[in-house]
Structure 1
Amino acid sequence: ILGEESSDEISSLKELSVKVHHLLYRRRYVIIVDDIWSLDAWDGVKRYIPDDGNKSRVLLTTRDENVASYVAASVSSTVIHHLGRMDKEKSWRLLEQRVFGEGACCPPELVKLGETMAEGCKGLPLAIVVIAGILSNAERTPDSWKRFAEDVNVALSKGGEQISEILSLSYHHLPHFLKPCFLYFSAFPEDHDIDASNLVKLWVAEGFLKAKEPSKLVEEIAYGCLEDLKRRNLIMATKEGYNGEIKICRIHDLLRQLCTSRAQEENFFHRAEDMMKPDILPSTTSKSQAHRISFSSHVSSRSVNLRRCSVRTALCFQHDKHLISKLLTCRLLRVLHIKAGKSWRFQSKLFELYHLRYLAFTYKRNVDFHLPEDIRNLKNLETLIANPRPLCGSSRETVILPPEFWTMKNLRHVMLYRCVVLPDPISPSLPLENLLTLSNLYNFRCKEEVVELIPNVRKIAVFYELDCQRESWYDYKLGNFGRFIHLESMRIELEEVRYRLDWCKRNPFLECLVLPQSLRRLRIDGGAARIPWEVMTNALGSLPNLESLKLWHDVCSGDVWETEEGCFENLRVLEIRCTTDLKCWITESSSHFRSLERLVLRSCGELAELPDCIGDVPTLQLIKVDDHQKAVVDWARRIGIQQRGNGNELLDIEV
Structure 2
Amino acid sequence: MADAAVSFVVEKLGNLIVREAINFRGVRGEVEWLKRELETMQCFLEDADEKSSKGDDERIKIWVRDMGDLAFEIEAIIDTLLDFHLRRQQKKEQGRTGFMERFIFIFDELVWRRKVHVDVEGIKAKLYDLFERRERYGIANKVETHGTTSQYRRSQDMIPKLPQLSDEIYIVGFGDEKKKIVQELVDINNTNRSVISIVGMGGRGKTTLAKSIYNDHEVRRSFNIFAWVIISQEYTIHEILKRIASEVSATPTIQGLSVAISEKLEKFKYLIVLDDVWEVDVWDQLQRVFPDVNNGSRVIITTRMFNVAKIADPTAQPHTLRALNEEESLELFLRKAFPTQDIGTYCPINLVEYAYRLVQRCRGLPLALVVLGGLVSTKPITNDAWQKVVEQIKWQFEVVGERWLELLAVSYYDLPYYLKLCFFYFGCFGKVMDIPAKTLIRLWSGEGVLPMRNGKTMEEIGMDCLEELAQRCLIQVTKSKYDDSVKYCQIHDLLRDLCIREAKERRFLEFYKDETVYATMSNAARHLIIFKHIEALNFSNSNLQGLFYGDHDPLTFKVLKGQLSRFKLLRVVYLNILDISEFPSEIKSLIHLRYLELHADNLEEVPSWIGYLHNLQTFIIRSKVLEMIHDSLWRIESLRHVDIPTSSSAAVPNMGNAVPKNLQTLKGLTAGSWIGNMLPNITNLSKLNICEISDDHANALSSALPKLGRLASLSMDGDEIPSDNIIKAFSNQSCLKKLSLYGKLNRKRLPHNDEFPQQLVSLSLIYSELEHDPMETLEKLPCLKHLELGDDSYGGKQMICSKAGFPQLLFLSIRCCDELEKWEIEEMAMPRLKSLQLCYCPKLMVIPEGLKHVPLDQLVLKHMPDNWYKIDDWYEMQHVPMPKISIES
TM range (shorter): 0.5 to 0.7
Q: 1:103-252 maps to which residues of 2 (within 5 A)?
A: 115=198, 122-123=206-207, 161-214=402-455, 216-252=456-492
Secondary structure in 2 aligned to 1:524?
Answer: strand
Deviation at 1:341, TM superposition (A): 5.5
- 2: distance between equivalents of 1:605 and 1:86? 49
Does residue 1:523 correspond to 2:740, yes or no?
A: yes
1:167-566 aligned at under 5 Å gives the runs: 167-214=408-455, 216-273=456-513, 277=517, 286-287=522-523, 289-301=524-536, 304-318=537-551, 319-325=555-561, 326-340=563-577, 342-343=579-580, 345-365=582-602, 369-388=604-623, 399-419=627-647, 420-427=650-657, 429=658, 431-464=659-692, 472-474=696-698, 477-495=701-719, 509-511=723-725, 514-516=728-730, 517=733, 518-527=735-744, 529-533=745-749, 536-538=750-752, 542-553=756-767, 555-561=768-774, 563-564=776-777
Q: For residue 379 of structure 1, what is the amino acid of its counterpart?
A: H
Instruction: State the Cα distance separating 1:562 from its structure 2 match.
Output: 5.6
Pair 314,414 (structure 1): closer, same or farther in 2 beyond 3 Å: same
* Secondary structure in 1 matching 2:751: helix
Residue pair 2:802, 2:825 contacting (<8 A) in 1 also: no
Deviation sequence 1:558-604 (CA, Å, 0-9, x none):
153462599422222211112251322234431x4333232222222
1:472 aligns to what SS in structure 2?
helix
User: What secondary structure sits across from 1:165 in the alignment?
Assistant: helix
Q: Following TM superposition, by how much is the alpha carbon of 1:133 offset from its aligned partner in structure 2, in angstroms?
A: 14
Q: Which residue of 1 aligns with 2:19?
A: none
Question: What do residues 189-229 of structure 1 show as CA deviations (whole Å, max 9, x unaligned)?
Answer: 22233222212111111111133123x21111212222222
SS in 2 for 1:211: coil
Instruction: Show CA shifts across 1:334-362 (max 9, x none).
Output: 10010016335323221111100010002
Deviations 1:8-53 (A, max 9, x none): xxxxxxxxxxxxxxxxxxxxxxxxxxxxxxxx99x99xxxxxxxxx
In 2: Cα distance, 1:89 partner to 1:632 partner: 41
Paired letter, 1:482: P
Question: Contact 1:376–1:407 at 8 Å: present in 2 too?
Answer: yes
Counterpart residue identity of residue 800, structure 2: I
Does structure 1 retain, via aligned residues, the 8 Å contact 2:169–2:208?
A: no
The correspondence for 1:83, drawn from 170, 184, 187, is: 170
Letter of the 2:621 partner, please give it: A
Matched-pair contact (CA < 8 Å) for 2:546–2:570: yes
The one-letter code of the counterpart of 1:210 is: P
Structure 2 Cα separation of the partners of residues 225 and 208 of structure 1:
11
Using the alignment, how far apart are the partners of 1:519 and 1:510 within structure 2? 15
Q: Quote how far apart the aligned CAs of 1:654 are.
A: 6.0
Deviations 1:249-276 (CA, angstroms, capped at 9, x unpaired): 2222222111111111111111123995
With the length of structure 1 as denominator, give the TM-score of the two structures: 0.67
1:600 alignment partner in structure 2? 813
Structure 1 residue aligned with 2:117: none
- Cα drift, residue 165 of structure 1: 2.1
Say which structure is richer in helix. Answer: 2
Q: Please give the alpha-carbon distance, in whole angstroms, between the structure 1 residues aligned to 2:419 and 2:491.
A: 15
TM-superposed deviation, 1:626: 3.4
Unpaired segments ≥5 residues, structure 1: 1-39, 45-63, 71-79, 95-110, 150-155, 390-396, 496-503
Cα distance per residue 1:594-618 (max 9 Å; x no partner)? 3323222222222233342375344
Q: How many Å apart are 1:141 and its aligned residue?
A: 8.7
Partner Cα distance (2:196, 2:520) in 1: 33
> What CA distance in whole angstroms lies between the structure 2 residues aligned with 1:118 and 1:298?
31
8 Å CA contact retained: 2:635, 2:655: no
CA distance in 1, matches of 2:587, 2:714: 32
User: Post-superposition shift, 1:174?
Assistant: 2.8
2:443·2:572 contact (CA, 8 Å) conserved in 1? yes
Q: What TM-score, normalized by structure 2, do the two folds share?
A: 0.51
Give the aligned CA root-mean-square deviation in angstroms: 4.6
Structure with the bigger RCO (C-alpha within 8 Å, sep 6+) is: 2
1:513-535 CA-partner distances (Å, limit 9, x unpaired): 753323110001123x35322xx
Contact 1:524 1:550 in 2 (8 A): yes
Q: Secondary structure at the match of 1:209?
A: coil
User: Number of matched residues?
Assistant: 515
TM-superposed deviation, 1:88: 12
Q: 1:364 to 1:124 in 2, by over 3 A?
A: closer
Q: How far apart are 1:409 and its partner, in Å?
A: 0.3
Q: Deviations over 1:108-162 (max 9, x none)?
A: xxx969546689975268x99xx999989x9x9979x9xxx9xxxxxx9xx9652
